[in-house]
Copies of this chain bind each other. A is one copy, B any other.
Amino acid sequence: MEVEIATIGGYEEVGRQCTAVRAGDDVVIFDMGLNLSKVLIHDNVETEQMHSLDLIDMGAIPDDRVMSEIEGDVQAIVPTHGHLDHIGAISKLAHRYDAPIVSAPFTIELVKQQIQGESKFEVDNDLIKMDAGETMQIGDDTELEFVNITHSIIDAINPVLHTPEGAVVYGLDKRMDHTPVIGDPIDMDRFREISREEGVLAYIEDCTNAAKKGRTPSERVAREHLRDVMMSLEDYDGGIVATTFSSHIARVKSLVEFAEEIGREPVLLGRSMEKYSGTAERLGFVDFPDDLGMYGHRKSVDRTFKRIMKEGKENYLPIVTGHQGEPRAMLTRMGRGETPYDIEDGDKVIFSARVIPEPTNEGQRYQSEQLLRMQGAHIYDDIHVSGHLSQEGHYQMLEALQPENIVPAHQNLENLAKYVDLCESEGYNLGDDIHLSRNGNVIQLTE
């Protein structure tokens, strides 16, 4: 059976991930992501209103025109998890395909919300929830399986397309976490089993951290670090504010729990805080306290801040958006004095996140910190662990899967190259079984 991989997007950048795998007549598309930085660099761009081709020209969404070269029918669109660089283009591209969107329940819910927010296109693909461990028939001889993995968002999976030629494992995005704070550990046993029983024809890998030595720590390590910080503030009787990735439910959960341990009422503030945590709670992924407040709309946020100011900042832990210093996020607005919450001398601001290392982010984050400091805030930062495999995780995946072919993804060429070096140290060879691809290429694996 012919098996080929079209590397549609995310092979020259981080963002707008999209990969199609054809096995015989059947095609599965993994991820349809958005490169948000390509949007934000322009002023006043409203993606909801924009046409796909314009977004493609901007480099914001995958250029899926290569799909016309792929002979076969798309049977499923499979986002791996709910981050924008994996689902953000669905509302712009999915309607072109007569195929359901299949993903884990939390991801499906986020996709649904995204489609509802879309103004330009009518997206009415079926939405099918499938859990890790489950499978779905794709063609006569091909089957889609979800393997449980661990990432910085809940309910992330690695889809595997089982073909008569072997399994194609789509490995984006994960870290190897044996003690996640929410959900099950990564299912390394299943990866080993697939390799042993069926063989892995190709492995598409997330190269984000391929240059980082050692092992990405478990979420449990970040949790202990966070606990240490928050316990040290047990006696502080002023304001404490925390920020993290809104979609990082495990981290939000830790913040909520430690807030209570030090006698403060946690409250989630900001549109995306409400969205992700609300969704996670509704779907039963996390068991927040019954009375946990989550407010996204400006008015209810302001009302909450006023209540906090009245009842005493020492009784609350606002958990807010703005960990990257985004100019319009809650924490930045707090720094600018645009909310009713007064930051006073000695108040603590906890960044349970790391700055994404790019000068624009670094500049914005710096400005946000400056504004907070000008009001007297003390900053705790970098209380975080990455969601992506470092080198030793990559080695362990290669050992578990023993893939015949490797397709590095999720980086620009320089960083893909670092993963190539790693693979070569394990006996693979560039141009032979390592396929260094570019957006829009097709890799023929079997004939």
List chain A positions with a Cβ less than 8 A from chain B. Answer: 41-43, 176, 178-179, 213-215, 217-218, 220-221, 224-225, 228-229, 231-232, 336, 346, 348, 358-367, 370-371, 374, 378-383, 391-392, 395-396, 412-418, 420-421, 424, 429-431, 436-438, 441
Contacts and interface: CB of A to CB of B under 8 A. Distances in A.
6 contacts: A178-B232, A221-B228, A232-B396, A380-B392, A424-B438, A431-B438
Nearest to A418: B414
Nearest to A355: B359
Nearest to A234: B178
Contacts of A362: 359, 362-363
A392 B363 contact: no
A374 B221 CA distance: 31
A38 to B, nearest CB: 9
Contact of A417 (B359, B365, B414, B431): B414
A102 to B, nearest CB: 31
A366 B366 CA distance: 15
* Oligomer: number of copies: 4
A378 B391 contact: yes
Contacts of A215: 228-229, 232, 380
A430 to B, nearest CB: 6
Given A417-B417, A431-B436, A224 B220 contact: yes
A16 to B, nearest CB: 15
Contact of A363 (B179, B359, B383): B359
A41 B368 CA distance: 9
A361 to B, nearest CB: 8
Contact of A217 (B176, B228, B441): B228
Contacts of A225: 217, 221
A441 to B, nearest CB: 7
Contact of A221 (B224, B415, B416, B420): B224
The 5 A-B pairs of least Cβ separation, nearest first, read A363-B363, A359-B366, A214-B380, A413-B417, A417-B417
Nearest to A395: B378
Contacts of A381: 213-214
Contact of A367 (B41, B217, B367): B41
Given A221-B225, A232-B178, A417-B417, A367 B360 contact: yes
Given A214-B229, A232-B215, A430 B421 contact: no
B232 A176 contact: yes
Contacts of A417: 412-414, 416-417
Contacts of A414: 414-415, 417-418, 421
A225 B231 CA distance: 18
A438 B432 CA distance: 11
Given A214-B380, A217-B228, A363-B366, 8 more contacts: A41-B370, A41-B371, A42-B336, A217-B225, A217-B229, A221-B225, A362-B362, A363-B364
A399 B367 CA distance: 28
Contacts of A232: 176, 178, 215, 392, 396
